Amino acid sequence: MAITSIIGGQWGDEGKGKIVDILSENVDIVARFQGGANAGHTVIIEGNKIVLHQIPSGILHPECKCILGNGMVVDPVGLFEEIRMVEDQGIETANRILLSLTTHIVTPIHKAIDKTSEDATNQKIGTTCKGIGPAYMDKITRKGIRAHDLLDLPSLKQTIDHRLSEAIKNNEVSKSAVNQINADLKQFYECVPAIAELVSDTFQYLHSIIHQGKNVIIEGAQGTLLDIDHGTYPFVTSSSPNNGGITTGLGIPQSHLDRKIGIFKAYTTRVGKGPFPTELFDGDGDKLGKLGHEFGATTGRPRRCGWFDGVAARYSCLVNGFTEIALTKLDILDNFDEIKVCTAYELDGKLIKNFSEVIYKLDQVTPIYESLTGWSNPVENIDHIDNLSNRAGQYIHFLEELVDTPIKLVSSGPERHQIFTREIS
Ligand code: GDP
Ligand code: IMO
Ligand code: MG
């Protein structure tokens, strides 16, 4: 039996989709436990690009079932369209997508509230406007709609009518937005019957599969630095995208997790607002963005780029207890003569090595870098990536020492075959 979790170690977009796709070949279930359509997980197979938002990346392997867990907030309209998109690619989805009875539902009202509150505030988070925060807010204040509510359409309509009146009364949405919300609700109700068919007791199913000793992958969305508790609050998402969120978001105890893989880019990116100590505003930043095609898979916004932040990464390893790391996009660094890695911060003349100490004032720290020499051969052509006689191998070794976690997988391009497994004794 192996239960493997795959978690973003940075601010999201680390390449989780690609790694889940590779590792889910002989897996029975891939399950998501948090987030929703704010995620954009890219899988590229022989040049064909598929971006998944709510369906777990295991869908590309025909034998694999996909669970949308109770900790997610699921948008039925987005899910309906995503299923159609996947089917159009020739992938059978019948009986393969299971939605937990207790997953919370994102309605057009949540999306409108998300947009209204982003537009109104001076402290913009740069949300994806997918209704994530407002749906989690309704969950926590105990007025959310859950997947089992989709099974009774007349009662669902009553609940939603009531929530819309409340949103108008409390100025959560503007009066001018109401016509659009009603038009969106019409489309929402049209999608409900198809999505209601996916609803089942996924808790029992998942535990029975685990009991049979089968293989399960748990797919994180977002990243640890966007965690509502452990991230760069308030510039975070509204869920717990770290290993801890699995326990509540699927009902699987931590003790069941055999392999906990943290996904890290070989450099750092962030999309949306918030502090980012190693962000580059120079030619190197532009180069990372251009070569790495760093544009959001969900919103298309340019991602901010910077060097690898070892202080943040070490913290992320502590939060998650990663047993290993998968390092992605190493090939993008092929093109640099000098590569920098942040090993500490400086604040008011003091050396800072603990992210947690300055997490609330990260915008004030100055990164301290160590410089490494780049490599001249594309990493893809290297025979043994773990060979320390090559500079790419030295870079990997430097990072794993810094974060005190072995790097066992190294990705050298977006395609399935562009992956190295490192032998570490
Ligand atoms: P996710 O949200 O963590 O799944 O990541 P995204 O899909 O949002 O962004 C990662 C991007 O990097 C996607 O466009 C992937 O196709 C691409 N990618 C993943 N691994 C590699 C890699 O090793 N090298 C390169 N060049 N691209 C990669
Ligand atoms: P994947 O799974 C990168 C960011 C948004 C914003 C903040 C809050 O593809 O790695 P939200 O809509 O969640 O309320 O927005 O979080 N964000 C992501 N950034 N990758 C993601 O997902 C993200 N999901 C949300 O840009 O700053
Ligand atoms: Mg993404």
| Residue 275 in contact with ligand 2 by CB distance below 6 A | no
Catalytic residue among 21, 28, 41, 110: 41
Q: Which CA distances in Å does 318 have to 195, 258, 403?
A: 38, 17, 9
Nearest to 225 by CA among 257, 266, 272: 272
CA 404/CA 313 separation, integer angstroms:
10
How many Å lie between the centroid of ligand 2 and the Cα of residue 364? Answer: 23
Question: Is 72 in contact with 103 (CB distance < 8 Å)?
Answer: yes
Q: Measuring from each residue's beta carbon to the nearest atom of ligand 1, which residues come in under 6 Å? A: 8, 12-18, 40-42, 44, 297, 328-329, 331-332, 411-414
Mean pLDDT, rounded, of the chain: 95
User: What are the tokens at 25?
Assistant: 């070949």
- Whose CA is closest to atom 20 on ligand 1? 414
In this prediction, residue 221 has a pLDDT band, given cuts at 50, 70 and 90, of very high
Q: Which atom of ligand 2 is nearest to the CA of 223?
A: 10
Q: What is the pTM of this model?
A: 0.97
In this prediction, residue 7 has a pLDDT band, given cuts at 50, 70 and 90, of very high
Q: Tell me the β-bridge partners of 420.
A: 410
Residues 6+ apart with CB under 8 A from 184: 77, 108, 111, 112
- Whose CA is closest to atom 25 on ligand 2? 38
| Residue 9 in contact with ligand 2 by CB distance below 6 A | no
* Domain ranges for the chain: 3-101+199-259, 104-196, 263-421
Closest ligand to residue 262's CA: 1
CA 224/CA 243 separation, integer angstroms:
9
C-alpha distance across the termini of the chain, in Å: 22
Pairing of strands 338-347, 366-373: antiparallel
How many Å lie between the centroid of ligand 1 and the Cα of residue 412? Answer: 10
Whole-number pLDDT of residue 386: 66
Whole-number pLDDT of residue 1: 54
Superfamily per CATH, domain 3-101+199-259: Adenylosuccinate Synthetase, subunit A, domain 1 (3.40.440.10)
Whole-number pLDDT of residue 381: 77
18-34: average pLDDT: 97
| 104-196 CATH pick, 3.20.20.150, 1.10.4080.10, 3.40.50.300, 1.10.300.10 | 1.10.300.10
Closest ligand to residue 303's CA: 2
Question: Is 27 in contact with 2 (CB distance < 8 Å)?
Answer: no
Q: What is the DSSP letter of 373?
A: E
Residues in the chain: 425
144 pLDDT higher than 80: yes
How many CB atoms within 10 Å of residue 112? 23
In this prediction, residue 245 has a pLDDT band, given cuts at 50, 70 and 90, of very high
Percent over 90 (pLDDT), the chain: 91
Q: H/E/C letters for each residue in 244-294?
A: HHHHHHHCCCHHHCCEEEEEEECCEEECCCCCCCCECCCHHHHHHHHHCCC
Give residue-wise pLDDT tens across range 157-175.
999 999 999 999 999 999 8
Residue with tokens 């607002």: 273
Residue of 20, 38, 116, 129 to test ligand 2 pocket, by largest number of atoms within 8 Å of CB: 38
In this prediction, residue 299 has a pLDDT band, given cuts at 50, 70 and 90, of confident
Please confirm, yes or no, whether 41 is among the known catalytic residues.
yes
How many CB atoms within 10 Å of residue 387? 12
Q: Which atom of ligand 1 is nearest to the CA of 297?
A: 8
182-208: average pLDDT: 98
| Residue 128 in contact with ligand 2 by CB distance below 6 A | yes
Architecture of the domain made up of 263-421? Alpha-Beta Complex (3.90)
CA 350/CA 330 separation, integer angstroms:
32
290 pLDDT higher than 80: yes
